[in-house]
Amino acid sequence: MRLPHKPSALVVAALLAAGLSACAAGAPASGPGAASGTGGSASSAGEAAKLSGTLTVFAAASLKSTFTKLAAEFEAANPGTKVALSFAGSSDLVTQISQGAPADVFASADVKNMAKLADAGLLDGTATNFATNVLAIAVPPANPASIASFADLARPGVRVVVCAGQVPCGAATAAVEKATGVTLNPVSEESSVTDVLGKVTSGEADAGVVYVTDVRTAGEKVKGIPFAEADQAVNTYPIATVGSSKNKELAAAFVALVTGAEGKKVLGDAGFGTQ
């Protein structure tokens, strides 16, 4: 029997296939398939109904720090419950929920993506707006290009990174450009606000247009420059219970926490508007 002529070729082909599929989409694994709460212990005692089971919350990536905190508070306040969080771009999450991902609660970074689920009849009831976010300019701590206003971003030689028009932060940036008459010439149009922030924190870009809350989260690594024209594009965050949720009681309790006083406090601390 003849030996394979090129044994390495097959190995290479296999590795190639692996490499091609290894696109780092950064999609987090949805919760451990844990939509099904027990729900059995719903004693009919009205207010005293004891909540239990696992709640899966799909939330926009920009809500990561606030929702992680709120989930911990929820678990502490309701012993026997567990909150599984999945963070990604809102449109990714909409796609996942439409394809049957086991989410109980969905919090979107814009009204448009929530509307997609509502239009598809995948929500339980209607969505509630719970926070707003506005754009801000993020620059490296030393501010090498001396950016002080939105108009400064259009100066020649300034390396600006923005979100692409297809994602919410990019749409907001375009709205501000339109309102101010300032046209940016970005060196890159990223597909997520975190990618924009990354280009600024690594010092590659002189400035990036991100959300106020991203600047807050990045802490010392960037300097935030607020600008008045940001009011031209206020992003609204809606939250809703997903129609296919098997534990709507628990979902409603979490939505109530987010939209209630405690939620307002945590979100406000992170820079969100909560009026």
Chain residues that interact with another protein, rule: CB under 8 A? 1-9, 11-13, 15-17, 19-20, 22-26, 89, 91, 95, 159, 161, 164, 166-167, 186-191, 195, 198-199, 202-204
Name the minimum Å distance from CB 101 to another protein. Answer: 16
Q: Which is nearer to another protein, 191 or 274 (CB)?
A: 191
Name the minimum Å distance from CB 231 to another protein. Answer: 25
Q: Which residues make beta-bridge pairs with 87?
A: 59
The two tokens of residue 231 are 């009011």
Residues 61/167, Cβ–Cβ less than 8 Å:
no
Q: Which residues make beta-bridge pairs with 21?
A: none
Q: Which is nearer to another protein, 60 or 71 (CB)?
A: 60
Residues 267/216, Cβ–Cβ less than 8 Å:
no
Name the minimum Å distance from CB 204 to another protein. Answer: 5
Q: Which is nearer to another protein, 41 or 202 (CB)?
A: 202
Q: Which is nearer to another protein, 12 or 151 (CB)?
A: 12
Name the minimum Å distance from CB 142 to another protein. Answer: 11
Name the minimum Å distance from CB 226 to another protein. Answer: 25
Distance, CA of 115 to CA of 50 (rounded, Å) = 32
Listed in order, strand segments (DSSP E) in the chain are: 53-60, 81-88, 105-107, 123-133, 135-139, 160-163, 188-190, 207-211, 223-225, 235-242
Q: Which is nearer to another protein, 78 or 96 (CB)?
A: 96
Residues 144/200, Cβ–Cβ less than 8 Å:
no
